[in-house]
Amino acid sequence: MAEKLVFLSDEYFRTVTDRPVFPQITGETIAQRFDTSLPVEAEPLESLIDDCRAIIDGSRHNGHPRFFGYVASPSTPAGGFADLLASTLNPSVTSWRSAPAPAQVERTVVRWLGSLIGYDDNAVGLLTSGGSMANLTALLIAHRAKAEHAVAQEGIANGAERMMIYVSAQVHMSIPKAADVLGLGQKSVRIIPSDDRFCFNAIALDEASKTDQRNNLKPFCVVASAGTAASGAVDPLAEIGDVARRHGLWFHIDGAYGAPAAMVKECKPRFAGLELADSVSLDPHKWLYTPVDCGCLLLRDAAAARKPFVAEGEYVKVHETAELESFAFWDYGIELSRRFRALKIWLTLKFYGARRIAEAIAEDMEMAKYMAQQIEADPEFELLAPVQLSICCFRYVPASLSDQMKSANNHEERENLHAELNRLNERIMHRMQRGGRAYLSNAMLCDTFALRACIINFRTTRADIDITLETVRQTARELEAEENS
């Protein structure tokens, strides 16, 4: 089994660039293959290997150099084989007592990540399933740090004032979702308009906080983005940190996608102010090329981090007295059972080195800039947002619609043409996603449907960018021809 599965893995790494990005298969065909009855008896190994090949063939390939959807990075051999070893060992990394070496490796990796992005060389924290869980945990810690009553005993409803969280219009969906899960309610999330670069408006934040205080609301947290999911915008972190300090707000930075770009020397000024945050989330499984699942929450104040997680129960009682040996991750997060996520980050950083990973991130950003240049040079394309990291948002604008928009006489006519362009680009995206040659996702930017390319792949070249843009053109012409037939 080991020999055959390692061969499959090696074969996949060697052939991923030759596969269609999305499987050329229907849901019905996949269901016929895998929606089977429970196996009562053992099946032959060869049959199982055939099934594994079919699973590979029926998957979307995030490692393909023209997969630009969402924020899903490729794996590396180092990450893949680290996961195999972690699952073979199968520790539950709840505490040092449960998994001495894995617990220490995770604590070391957390410290490394804090240092890599320029946050804090001695950061504490833990690895999570992803950015959503890291953000949820951060907001829980922030709320308990700023609440004026004993929430753990009395509950949120007993607070006299509604406690407010401030976010930009580009905030990730995990933040309002976290407010809901924590019982604060989505009305506690105050959305601040973004500027023309889709960044947080710090002046508007300051005014909103003052207004809410006058209206007997209690501001307690602001969430900035170090790379938004839609366009990759980096908020003015230093300005927001200054507002947070003056208003006594917990300052959380959602860097799930973009924070690793702070490793790149030329990018460091863009992340000025990151070091001011009370907490930072980032996902190594996004832009550090490690396998899912692997998020991280970094914290500066260990005491504040532990406040919401006072654990009781004989089965978690710590008997060790040495500081290192009494450490428990349940003091910093929601999960008790936790898999050994740190090994894939540890092995990836050890095997490739931080310098090479930073170079790969810089190369991804160069690819995004190149795509933007090609788009701006082509009258059939329109760039919809500045490229700040490695996300490029654009749309296809056929000459016929472009001419009509220029000659439109009234607002209603322009709105109708705008809606038609949105529908066209949505159809282009869907057909490309299923076509297998290149894969784009979408973003809504000021009511405009954008084709979105998120480039976080060390295999991507300029030729892949050119092929992707040509595929957009070809797809648009196919749709036009179908409409006219």
Boundary of a domain, candidates 317, 335, 352: 352
In this structure, are 416 and 461 located in the same domain?
yes
Distance of CA 174 to the CA centre of its chain: 10
Strands 163-168 and 218-225: parallel
Q: Helix or strand or coil: residue 250?
A: strand
Looking up tokens 């300029």, which residue turns up? 462
The closest of 81, 128, 118, 188 to 329, measured between CA atoms, is 128
Boundary of a domain, candidates 288, 323, 352: 352
* Residue 241 in this model has a pLDDT that exceeds 70: yes
345 and 290 Cβ atoms separated by less than 8 Å: yes
* Inside any domain, residue 3: no
* Inside any domain, residue 63: no
Boundary of a domain, candidates 307, 332, 352: 352
The closest of 455, 450, 464, 465 to 258, measured between CA atoms, is 455
In this structure, are 360 and 340 located in the same domain?
no
Q: What is the pTM of this model?
A: 0.95
* Inside any domain, residue 107: yes
Q: What is the mean pLDDT of residues 227-244?
A: 98
In this structure, are 251 and 113 located in the same domain?
yes
* Inside any domain, residue 42: no
* Inside any domain, residue 28: no
* Inside any domain, residue 31: no
Task: Please tell me the predicted confidence (pLDDT) of residue 406.
Answer: 83
* Inside any domain, residue 7: no
In this structure, are 201 and 332 located in the same domain?
yes
Number of neighbours of residue 109 by Cβ within 10 angstroms: 24
In this structure, are 222 and 363 located in the same domain?
no
The amino acid that residue 304 corresponds to is A
Range with the poorest average pLDDT among 317-331, 337-351, 423-437: 317-331
CATH number of the CATH domain containing 405? 3.90.1150.170
Residue 317's pLDDT band (cuts 50, 70, 90): low
Residue 391: partners with Cβ closer than 8 Å, 6 or more residues away:
227, 230, 231, 232, 368, 385, 452, 453, 454, 455
Into how many domains does the chain fold?
A: 2
The H or E element containing residue 313 is none
CATH number of the CATH domain containing 315? 3.40.640.10
Q: What is the mean pLDDT of residues 171-186?
A: 95
Distance CA 137, CA 289 (A): 23
* Residue 319 in this model has a pLDDT that exceeds 70: no
In this structure, are 231 and 341 located in the same domain?
yes
DSSP output for 373-420:
HHHHT-TTEEE-S--SSSEEEEEE--HHHHHHHHH--SHHHHHHHHHH
* Residue 315 in this model has a pLDDT that exceeds 60: no
In this structure, are 207 and 294 located in the same domain?
yes
* Structure token pair of residue 452: 């979105």
In this structure, are 174 and 273 located in the same domain?
yes
Q: What is the mean pLDDT of residues 355-368?
A: 98
Residue 437: partners with Cβ closer than 8 Å, 6 or more residues away:
20, 21, 66, 467, 471
* Inside any domain, residue 161: yes
In this structure, are 348 and 374 located in the same domain?
no
Q: What is the mean pLDDT of residues 358-384?
A: 98
In this structure, are 196 and 318 located in the same domain?
yes
Distance CA 106, CA 338 (A): 11
Q: What percent of the chain has pLDDT over 90?
A: 87
Range with the poorest average pLDDT among 221-225, 375-379, 411-415, 462-466: 411-415
In this structure, are 277 and 342 located in the same domain?
yes
Residue ranges making up the domain that contains 361? 355-484
Task: Please tell me the predicted confidence (pLDDT) of residue 118.
Answer: 97
In this structure, are 89 and 159 located in the same domain?
yes
Task: Please tell me the predicted confidence (pLDDT) of residue 314.
Answer: 59
Residue 158's pLDDT band (cuts 50, 70, 90): low
Residue 404's pLDDT band (cuts 50, 70, 90): confident
Distance CA 100, CA 91 (A): 10
Q: What is the mean pLDDT of residues 314-335?
A: 79
* Residue 354 in this model has a pLDDT that exceeds 90: yes
- pLDDT tens across 65-101, in order? 999 999 998 999 999 999 999 999 999 999 999 999 9
